[in-house]
Amino acid sequence: MFGQWMKWDTPTGVVRAGFTTKFAAPHGEGNLGLHVQDDRDGVVQNRQTIARQVELSLENTIWAEQVHGNHVEQVTTLESGRGALDYGTAIKQTDGLVTTDANVMLMMLFADCVPLLFCDPTTGVIANAHAGWRGTVANIVEATVDKMEEAGASRSGIQMVIGPSIRDCCYEVDGPVIEAVDALALEERPYVMKEDGKAMLSLQKVNAALAERAGIGNVLDIGICTNCSHENYFSYRHGDKNGRFASLIVKEPVHGYTE
């Protein structure tokens, strides 16, 4: 159900984060997306199963209307439950969520795009971002770090995790994508050109380089390709048009802690 699990200790609570997999769910293989023409009640049951695994309810989750952009929103307990039961109530046109609040589980959905999880252990500011190629070249990493700083994070203390996503072994792109990546002027080229003029691109290397440029010194790449590991993760390129797995991050409050 969870392919990886991470934990950070912060002054304001323990942060837990992870990535779901395909699993023996109440519905199908564990699709968590409400926007992919799947049975709504079945998806909600799957979401409830995931929430229970971290001892929370869907009322504690916040979901976004992901649009492959670089807009990031700070959310609080006031937004809890947005998008959990109805896609229409998700945070509009947003691909990154930041919070300082406890018991607010930030959710993002994937089927090859790059999950990016952020935590500043010194302040307890956390974030979850969705980076397709468009969001990547639009530098959603920098947008997320900026929003975390506004929330009180220390830029140099932020840690970033790159989750399961399609990798350069399987991710072929064409000229317009290559040109957009080249426009970032990275120190090292994150793709290998092919004889037909296309390229095998590592979005992971691009986001890691942008994280370094943004002042993040600690980046962990999980190293899993969703297309190669399609038995465990939904992969759009492999054919999973109606399935999405999730990245999630949540902070549990320290007992007795008050703002």
Domain membership of residue 17 (yes or no) is yes
Quick: pLDDT tens for 15-47: 999 999 999 899 999 999 999 989 999 999 999
- Strands 199-201 and 172-173: what pairing? antiparallel
Residue 119 covered by a domain: yes
User: For the domain that residue 75 is a member of, what is the CATH number?
Assistant: 3.60.140.10
Residue 86: domain span? 2-252
Q: Is residue 66 included in any domain, yes or no?
A: yes
How far apart CA 18 and CA 66 sit, in angstroms, is 19
Q: Taking the C-alpha atoms of 158, 177, 165 and 199 in order, what is their torsion angle to the nearest 10 degrees?
A: -120
Q: Can you count the helices (H) and strands (E) in the chain?
A: 5, 14
pLDDT computed for residue 120 by the predictor: 98
Q: pLDDT at residue 122 above 70?
A: yes
What is the total count of domains within the chain? 1
The tokens describing 256, both together, are 């007795």
Residue 258 falls inside a structural domain: no
Q: What is the pTM of this model?
A: 0.96
What angle do the packed helices 203-213 and 140-150 form, to 10 degrees?
40
Residue 257 lies in a domain: no
Q: What is the rounded CA–CA span in Å between residue 73 and residue 3? A: 27
Q: Which tens digits make up the pLDDT trace of 149-182?
A: 999 999 999 999 999 999 999 999 999 999 999 9
Total residues found in the chain within this entry? 259
Cα dihedral 65, 18, 3, 135 sign: positive
Distance, in Å, from the CA atom of 120 to the CA atom of 173, rounded to the nearest integer, reads 33
Contact assessment for residue 94 and residue 217, using Cβ atoms and an 8 Å cutoff: no
Q: Is residue 165 part of a domain?
A: yes
The answer to whether residue 97 is domain-embedded is yes
Other beta carbons within 10 angstroms of residue 113's beta carbon come to 25
Asked, for residue 259, whether it belongs to a domain, the answer is no
